[in-house]
Chain A
Amino acid sequence: MKIIFYVFAIIGMTCSTYMSLFYAPTEKVMGDIQRIFYFHMGTVWVSSIAFILVFISSIMFLIKKNRKWDILAYSSAEIGVVFITLTIISGSIWAKPIWGTWWTWDPQLTTTFILWMLFIVYLILRSSSGNDQKKARYAAVYAIIAFLDLPLVYISARVMRGISPVVFGPGGGGIDPKMLYTMLVTFVGFSFLMALILIERIKIENLRYKMDIIKAENNN
């Protein structure tokens, strides 16, 4: 089962890299730097899914009190942190030549930044909450509050800056079909990559849990 994910992730990522570097036509205004956008959108995609997964599994955990939901939330949060960091870094690299600055406080960037902070706080909260049960409960509560908060952050940031135009959107205006295909392949590739990491991460967590039980038995 896992081998399928490995194969698809490798194929998907290779195709996505090849297509974004060679297959997709060069963007007229931005030039080659636009190619980083495929990677950028891929990481955005994964971190959004991770964030939604954390929210859903947190609610499920509070309802069902089943450990597996908590593990899913925790693993997704870790993946989310990694990919959102990549999002911010790749976005900055793209923004420097295009916007002439590494960072601006526009609504999208502000929201991404806050999302990144929320994920990190989530992990800090987990690491300092003591036993497993409490840790899981607190983290779930925080994840729910954080998820509800994010739309408000986005709207508020828009209100603060005056509603800014969409600077670049793949849907805005005509997009070259080759660009579209590249984007789709990137999404698929990244999705498999994420699934793969998630599976492995959950496995580690289960092993750790088993180890804790063995330790506890030996101590008695």
Chain B
Amino acid sequence: MKKVFLFLLKDIKNEYRTKELFSSMFTFALVIILIFNFSFNISRELLSYAVPSFMWICFTFAGLLGLSRSFGIEKENEAIKGVLLSPTSPVLIYISKFLSNFLFLFILELILLPLFIVFFNYDISGSILVLYSIIITGTIGFVSVGTLFSTMSVNTRLREVILPILLFPIIIPLLINSVRVTFVILNGQPLDKVWYSIKLIIAFDIMFLFTSAIVYGYVLEED
């Protein structure tokens, strides 16, 4: 547990000192919001259907940036060797990487959600807390596979290019359900309508957290 914490602290410190990852993720997210605002000039009724998908596209794209960077940083100056040499198991490295990726993305989402409401003139009828909890659940799933694939992608020839191709087909079920649930919460409809979707998101989270943790050792091996 202490090892996980130390690794996590390393990532946070690194980010705190450079601030490069977070600032680029944030700027990218803003640019996406801007583009959506101008490319979809739609009426208010349609907006309530579109904003949940905008939100998740924005989160995943910005998250993708963070994911590809999170291991890219280790690859520079061969810092990954230090991580591998430390007396830990791959599972612990996975958990710490997962936590740091999750933390950065979640802080970003915390800031972005109000911006969505401001820029799209959106009135939330549901509870914000419920909305954040579903965002957390969705983000866990996204980051769990994302951490695994980002480690893989930095070791391939195509580097960052291959990460979105690997990741997006896999997270499609997650996106479908998250968008559905988010739509229901934003419009203040009863949650039991999408209870099945919530269960699917949770199933996705559990399934891929465990599988990724188990197979992470194979991805990390150097040869």
A residues at B contact (CB < 8 Å) = 62, 114, 117-118, 121, 124-125, 128-131, 133-134, 137-138, 140-142, 144-146, 148-149, 152-153, 155-157, 159-160
Contact = CB atoms under 8 A, between A and B. Distances in A.
B212 to A, nearest CB: 8
Interface of B: 145, 148-149, 152, 155-158, 162, 165-166, 169-170, 172-173, 176-177, 180, 196-197, 200, 203-204, 207-208, 211-212, 215, 218-219, 221, 223
A141 B219 contact: yes
Contact of A152 (B152, B180, B196, B204): B204
Contact of B173 (A62, A125, A129, A153): A153
A131 B156 CA distance: 10
A72 B66 CA distance: 35
Given A128-B162, A152-B203, A137 B157 contact: no
Contacts of A131: 223
Contacts of A146: 169-170
13 contacts: A125-B162, A125-B166, A130-B155, A130-B157, A137-B219, A138-B219, A141-B215, A144-B211, A146-B170, A156-B177, A159-B177, A159-B196, A160-B176
Contacts of A153: 172-173
A129 B162 CA distance: 10
B154 to A, nearest CB: 11
A134 B157 CA distance: 12
Contacts of A141: 148, 152, 215, 218-219
A137 to B, nearest CB: 5
Contacts of A149: 169-170, 173
Contacts of B221: 137
B176 A148 contact: no
| Of listed B149, B173, B208, B211, residue having the most chain A CB within 10 A | B173
Given A148-B211, A159-B197, 11 more contacts: A121-B169, A124-B162, A125-B162, A129-B156, A130-B156, A131-B223, A134-B155, A155-B173, A156-B200, A159-B180, A160-B176
B145 A145 contact: yes
Main secondary structure of the interface of B (DSSP, over half): helix
Contacts of A130: 155-157
Contacts of A140: 218
Nearest to B145: A145
A129 B207 contact: no
Nearest to B220: A137
A81 to B, nearest CB: 14
Contacts of B207: 148, 152
Contacts of A118: 169-170
Contact of A145 (B148, B173, B196, B200): B148
Nearest to B177: A156
A178 to B, nearest CB: 40
Which 7 pairs from chain A and chain B are nearest by CB? A156-B173, A152-B173, A128-B157, A156-B176, A128-B158, A128-B156, A117-B169
A156 B176 CA distance: 7
Contact of B165 (A114, A121, A133): A121
| Of listed B155, B162, B211, B218, residue having the most chain A CB within 10 A | B218
B77 to A, nearest CB: 20
A172 to B, nearest CB: 25
B218 A137 contact: yes
Contacts of A152: 173, 200, 203-204, 207
Contacts of A148: 207-208, 211
A157 to B, nearest CB: 7
B179 to A, nearest CB: 9
| Of listed B204, B215, B221, residue having the most chain A CB within 10 A | B215
A62 B176 contact: no
A130 B153 CA distance: 11
A114 B215 contact: no
B166 A155 contact: no
A131 B223 CA distance: 9
Contacts of A144: 211, 215
